[in-house]
């Protein structure tokens, strides 16, 4: 290079570096885990709280926790008496009563450290998806595990895995649906490639929390046991994604048709596929159990769920997004949506479960049908349309709710609807389902009618 060229080159202005806006946390960091905690996360005394929580209402709380094996207990009262620690006291009492702390070699202090940390990572401001919902699902899972048809079927590791999955299944839920997270290109949707976004996040947060000091409740397990439990928990929590509902139900129907039962009426499940399938459906039933509870509790849950949906709808409206089904507080038809939800989602699931464990779930099914009839009776009568309106609106008067399925589930839905005479028996010929399909590989658009 000649000297002149070198001088000219060195005199060229150096491009200014662009100022960079501060980045968020690295994608490898699980969001939600670093939230400040409201407790000391340490039980250092010799005596642990009797029910896992410090409360001035210990005696009254104990009376309610004594009913944890009963379907339809007032979980809201337990929340009040436990000073908003329902998940910790429910899980601690169940694991103790089932002697799982002993059989799985779980240190009680570790268990309480983990549960209080887990409960702190449920979003208290969510009307529905908070630790009270997790406690309700955990308690419902406990009752379903007690069904006589499953007596002695599952090992302590499997029972503990199902209960653990119920405890963690909605941790750090943002109060928004998978569909919203995908549509808004949220960090979580990017992290999990739009696939079971929330369910993957719940699992990641929970297993990350186990790494906190004094929180590893499985520290005494052998490596193979830990691996087995982790696989079970992942399978169960991923099955709570409502986009998996139809395929899960179709597989359960197949199991009912081919089930092997011992002379005592106990199910014979001799391989992992069958065993995990029952546990997946069991926790899924517990997650969708609000309509099967006493009407006063069911109505309260509906109000909380709708408020959470409306808050999402408000966000969608403010952002100029399409408002998701059932999320428009100015246009919602709560009674119709609950009837549709029961007829097309909840009743087929619980009816099939009742067939599997017959006759153990008949009372639950009866309550579900009574609650359905209540909401049907609350639908205000529509004024008779004119002949012209009948021709132009027709199907618009039908009850609609949106269920987003994997592409492979469309055939399952058709088969289920063909074989399900529930709506016809009840004379509900004005019920329809709006179903969205999508290319395989982009599943996990969660519909808005699940609980």
Which residues carry out catalysis? 129
Say if residues 313 and 436 touch (Cβ distance below 8 Å): no
Which residues sit in the known binding site for AMP? 129-133, 170, 287, 338
CA within 13 Å, CB half, 35? 20
Query: Distance between CA 163 and CA 137 in Å, rounded?
Result: 9
* Structure tokens given for 358: 């017959």
CA distances to 77, 133, 208 from 85, in Å: 11, 12, 21
Residue 213's contacts (CB-CB under 8 Å, 6 or more residues apart) are none
Q: How far is Cα 14 from Cα 303, in angstroms, rounded to an integer?
A: 62
Residue 287 has φ and ψ, to the nearest 5°, of -70, -30
DSSP state of 402: E
CA dist., res. 415 & res. 417, Å (int): 6
Closest Cα partner for 166 from 302, 23, 289, 283? 283
Under DSSP, is residue 434 helix (H, G, I), strand (E, B) or coil? strand
**Three-state secondary-structure class, residue 404:** strand
Q: State how far the Cα of 179 lies from the Cα of 196, in Å rounded to an integer.
A: 10
> Hey, how many other C-beta atoms are within 10 angstroms of the C-beta on 261?
12
Q: How many CA atoms lie within 13 A of 214 on its CB side?
A: 12
Q: CA 197 → CA 6, 173, 200, distances in Å?
A: 56, 10, 5
Give the 3-state secondary structure of residue 431. strand
User: Which residues fall in the annotated binding site?
Assistant: 129-133, 169-170, 287, 338
- At residue 311, the 3 state secondary structure works out as helix
Taking the chain, what is the end-to-end CA distance rounded to the nearest angstrom? 73
């Amino acid at each position: 290079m000649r000297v002149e060229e070198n001088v000219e080159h060195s005199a060229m202005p150096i491009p200014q570096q662009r100022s960079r806006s501060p980045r968020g946390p690295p994608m490898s960091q699980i969001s939600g885990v670093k939230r400040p905690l409201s407790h000391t996360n340490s039980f250092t005394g010799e005596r642990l709280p009797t029910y896992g929580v410090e409360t001035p209402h210990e005696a009254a709380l104990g009376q309610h926790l004594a009913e944890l094996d009963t379907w339809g207990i007032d979980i809201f009262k337990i929340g009040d008496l436990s000073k908003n620690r329902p998940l910790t006291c429910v899980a601690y009492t169940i694991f103790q009563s089932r002697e799982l702390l002993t059989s799985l070699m779980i240190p009680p202090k570790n268990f309480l450290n983990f549960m209080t940390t887990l409960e702190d990572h449920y979003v208290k401001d969510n009307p529905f998806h908070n630790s009270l919902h997790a406690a309700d699902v955990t308690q419902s899972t406990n009752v379903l595990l007690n069904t006589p048809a499953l007596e002695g079927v599952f090992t302590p590791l499997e029972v503990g895995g199902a209960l653990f999955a119920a405890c963690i299944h909605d941790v750090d839920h943002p109060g928004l649906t998978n569909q919203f997270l995908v549509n808004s290109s949220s960090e979580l949707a990017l992290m999990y490639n739009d696939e079971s976004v929330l369910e993957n996040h719940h699992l990641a947060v929970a297993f990350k929390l186990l790494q906190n000091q004094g929180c590893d409740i499985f520290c005494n397990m052998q490596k193979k046991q830990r691996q087995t439990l982790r696989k079970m928990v992942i399978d169960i929590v991923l099955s709570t994604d409502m986009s998996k509902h139809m395929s899960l139900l179709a597989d359960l129907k197949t199991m009912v048709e081919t089930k092997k039962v011992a002379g005592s009426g106990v199910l014979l499940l001799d391989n992992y596929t069958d065993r995990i399938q029952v546990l997946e459906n069991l926790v899924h039933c517990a997650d969708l159990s609000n309509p099967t509870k006493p009407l006063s509790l069911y109505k309260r849950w509906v109000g909380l769920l709708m408020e959470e949906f409306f808050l999402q709808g408000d966000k969608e409206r403010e952002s100029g997004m399409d408002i998701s089904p059932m999320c428009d507080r100015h246009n919602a038809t709560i009674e119709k949506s609950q009837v549709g939800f029961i007829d097309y989602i909840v009743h087929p699931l619980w009816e099939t479960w009742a067939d599997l464990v017959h006759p153990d779930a008949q009372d639950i099914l009866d309550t579900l049908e009574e609650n359905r009839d209540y909401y049907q009776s609350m639908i205000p009568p529509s004024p008779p349309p004119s002949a012209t309106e009948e021709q132009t609106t027709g199907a618009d008067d039908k009850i609609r709710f949106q269920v987003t399925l994997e592409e492979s589930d469309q055939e399952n839905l058709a088969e289920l609807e063909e074989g399900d005479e529930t709506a016809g028996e009840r004379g509900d010929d004005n019920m329809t389902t709006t179903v969205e399909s999508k290319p395989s590989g982009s599943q996990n658009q969660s519909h808005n009618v699940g609980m």
